[in-house]
Amino acid sequence: MNEPVILPDYLQKAINTHKIHVANLRGHDKWTIIQTAKALSRSKSSIADDIMIARWYRIHPKRLESIKTTKDALEWIRDKEKEVEREDV
């Protein structure tokens, strides 16, 4: 039997933030990251970071599960984005 995956706190927060944002988008076609930030009493940039992490988690779950902090996750994601940009040149 598979053990349930215990996600790092930063990743669980990112996934929850993304779920809240998407749920509001479905209910309000003009919903924005700014509105999610206000609803959660957080900064716009922290919401954007969480949404980006949650989206990358869909593609690279194991890697993001092994990272322990938001800072390290964002650094890894930015490095991967740079790799893709170099490949496109």
Residue pLDDT, tens place only, 36-67: 999 999 999 999 999 999 999 999 999 999 99
Give the domain ranges of the chain: 9-88
CA distances to 16, 19, 33, 46, 72 from 38, rounded to whole Å, are 15, 16, 9, 11, 25
pLDDT at 64: 97
pLDDT at 88: 66
Residue pLDDT, tens place only, 5-16: 899 999 999 999
| Structure-model confidence comparison of residues 3 and 68, the more confident one | 68
The mean pLDDT value of the chain amounts to: 93
